[in-house]
A and B are shown apart, each in its own frame.
Chain A
C-alpha cells in the first residue's frame, strides 16, 4: 500500500505519520531487513559472503539514498531544481575529513616521537602534523580553517553548520530576489562550480586537488579491522537514512507538505494566500543542505578519500537524474532511483558486467555506460514521467 496524498483524512482527529503514510512503515521494514541481511552476510560480523569493499559500497549507497531523499524534497516537493546539493554533501565530508586526517596524523607523530630522549613540545607536534598534512601543497603553516581540526565535537558541529549556513546565505540571496526555475538551477550550479574550482587551488587550506585521504582510518579505533569498521559505518548510514526518511516523511506530510507542493505548482497564488514563500523555500533548502552534509560525513570515511572533483557540478546533475528515474514527489522513489542507478553504475563501470562483442567492435561498459544512462533518463522522462516509483501506483490500484 502506498499513499501519495497523506492528509486525506475523513476524521479530524490527530493521527500518526505511519497511519497516514503506510509507505513509511514499508520502507522502514525493508531497510531493517536489508541491514540485518547485510550484517549476517558480511565479512566483519557474519558468514563472510559479502566482502568488506562490498559492504562499503552498500554503506555508501545508503548515504547516496539519503541525499537523494533530500533532493526529492527540495525538487520533487518544493519545485527547486537545485544543482548544488552535492556541494553540501562534499562540505560535510570535508568537515569530518579534517578531523579524521588531523587526529590520525597526530597519533602517528606522537608514536614516532615518543622514543626520543627529549619529549617533544606541543608546538613541535603541531608543526610536525602540519608538515605531514600540508607538505604536499608546499605549506608549513596550519590554515586558519583547521583551527578546530583536533576536536571531534567541533568538527561534527561543522558538518551541520557549514552546509547549513552556506545554504541559508545563498538561499536567502537567491530566493529574496525571486530567482526561480531554470535561472535558479543555473545559479546553484554556478555556486557548486565556484566552490569546486576554489577547492582545487593549493592555497585554500584543503590540500587542493589532493583532497583529504586516509579517511577510512578512524582515530581511536585504529586497531579495529576494516571489516568491522565498515559494518559500523554501514549501520550508521542505515540509521541516518532511516532517521532522515522519517524526518522528511513527517515534513512533507500534513500542511507543510501541502504548502511546499503548492509553491511548486503556483508560488504566486501561495503568496496571495498570505504565506511567505521565500521563508518556506529557505527552510526546505537549508534543512536538506544540513542532512546532505550529514550524509556526506558518513559517506567519505567509507570512500576513504575526498577531493574537489567530488563537488563538481556533474555529481549534482547525477543526483537529479537519480531522483527523476526513481520518481519525483515520493520519497521511496528517490531511494529506489539512487540505489538502482549508483549500484548499476559501479557494477557496470567496475568491470562487473561482461563486455559485449559485435564482430570487430567490443562494446565496453566503461565507455558506454553514460550513454546508456542518458538514454535511460530520456526514456523515463518521455514514457514514465512518474519514474520507477510510479510502478507502485499500478500495484496499489490493482488491489481490491
Chain B
C-alpha cells in the first residue's frame, strides 16, 4: 500500500463562505474509503478540487509516485492521469446507446485525430461486453442510455468509470435512488473495483457504508473531523454531535 493521492492543507472560499477549510486527506492504492458528513461539509467540493473543476485558494494536491501537482492540470489531463469521477446525479449521454457511452469511456487515445480514425477492435468490443456484463446491462447495449432506469444509469456511469481504467475512482452517492437489491449489487461492484485500485465513496446511507466494510472519513465544515473504522467514528462524541445526533 502506497499513498496515491495526498491532499494537504487545502482551503477554498466561495463568496466569503469557507467550503473547504485546511483539509488534509490521503488515500492509498488499493484502498476502499468512505467519506461521510452532513450537507455542506464540503464532500462534493473536495471532489471538484481533486478533479480540477475548482481551484483551491491554498494547499496542495499530489498524485502518484512522482508527486505530480494536480492543481496545475486541466480536467481532461487529470482524467487521463487516472482519476475517474461519478457524479451525484447520473450523467450519461442519454441520446446515445449504452455501447457508445462505454466506447467513449474506454481507455484509448483521446486526441481528435486518433478518435477520428478509431474503429472498434475485437479487444474493445470484448471489453465493452465484459463491462456491460459486470454492470448487468449486457442485453441493453444497443438501447438509448436515456431509456434506462435510474439505477441502471447509475451502473452505466460506474461502468464508464471502470472502462476508463482509473487508478482512483471518486464516486458520489452511488446508491441514491436504488432498490435494496440494486444497492447490494453496487456494493459488490465497488468492493471488487477496490481490490486493484483506490476507490473513494461519498455516501449518506449508513447501512450502505457498513456493507462496504472500509475505513471512514468524516468531514465537517470543510475539514476532517474523524477517521477510522465505522465503529470507531460512530463512537466519536464530536461525530455524534454534528452528524448522527441530528
Q: B118 an interface residue at 8 Å Cβ cutoff?
A: yes
Contact of B111 among A5, A7, A276 (CB under 8 A): A276
Among the stretches A211-219, A254-262, A381-389, the one at the interface with B is A254-262
The count of A-to-B residue pairs whose CB atoms sit within 8 angstroms is 94
Chain A residue, CB-CB nearest to B116: A256
Q: A271 an interface residue at 8 Å Cβ cutoff?
A: yes
| A268 vs B52: C-alpha distance when bound (angstroms) | 11
Query: By the criterion CB–CB under 8 Å, are B112 and A256 in contact?
Result: yes
Q: B110 an interface residue at 8 Å Cβ cutoff?
A: yes
Tell me the dominant secondary structure on chain A's binding face.
Answer: helix
Contact of A274 among B96, B122, B164 (CB under 8 A): B164
| A7 vs B91: C-alpha distance when bound (angstroms) | 21
CB distance from A271 to the nearest CB of B (A): 4
| A11 vs B99: C-alpha distance when bound (angstroms) | 11
Q: A10-B142, A12-B122, A14-B119 are in contact. Are A272 and B51 (CB under 8 A)?
A: yes
Q: A368 an interface residue at 8 Å Cβ cutoff?
A: no
Chain A residues bordering chain B, tally (CB within 8 A): 30
CB distance from A74 to the nearest CB of B (A): 14
| A5 vs B97: C-alpha distance when bound (angstroms) | 8
- List, in ascending order, chain A residues with CB within 8 A of B110's CB: 274-276
CB distance from A237 to the nearest CB of B (A): 26
Query: By the criterion CB–CB under 8 Å, are A268 and B93 in contact?
Result: no
Query: By the criterion CB–CB under 8 Å, are A12 and B116 in contact?
Result: no
Contact of B80 among A254, A274, A279 (CB under 8 A): A274
Q: B76 an interface residue at 8 Å Cβ cutoff?
A: yes
CB distance from A269 to the nearest CB of B (A): 5
Query: By the criterion CB–CB under 8 Å, are B118 and A272 in contact?
Result: no
- List, in ascending order, chain A residues with CB within 8 A of B142's CB: 8, 10
Q: A355 an interface residue at 8 Å Cβ cutoff?
A: no
Query: By the criterion CB–CB under 8 Å, are B87 and A269 in contact?
Result: yes
- List, in ascending order, chain A residues with CB within 8 A of B119's CB: 14, 254
Q: Which parts of A251-309 form the interface with B (CB within 8 Å)?
A: 251, 254-256, 258-259, 261-262, 265-266, 268-269, 271-277, 279-280, 283
| A337 vs B112: C-alpha distance when bound (angstroms) | 29
- List, in ascending order, chain B residues with CB within 8 A of A283's CB: 112
Interface residues, chain B, with chain A CB atoms under 8 Å away: 51, 53, 74-76, 79-80, 84-85, 87, 91, 93-97, 99-100, 103-105, 110-112, 115-116, 118-122, 124-126, 142, 144, 160, 164
19 pairs of residues in contact across A and B, judged by CB atoms under 8 Å: A7-B97, A7-B99, A7-B100, A12-B122, A14-B119, A255-B118, A258-B104, A261-B93, A262-B104, A265-B94, A269-B87, A271-B79, A272-B51, A272-B84, A272-B85, A273-B105, A274-B76, A274-B80, A279-B111
Interface residues, chain A, with chain B CB atoms under 8 Å away: 5, 7-12, 14, 251, 254-256, 258-259, 261-262, 265-266, 268-269, 271-277, 279-280, 283
Other A-B contacts than A9-B99, A262-B104, 18 sampled, CB-CB below 8 A, are: A5-B96, A10-B142, A12-B126, A14-B120, A254-B116, A255-B100, A256-B112, A258-B100, A262-B96, A265-B94, A268-B75, A271-B79, A272-B51, A272-B75, A272-B84, A273-B160, A273-B164, A274-B76
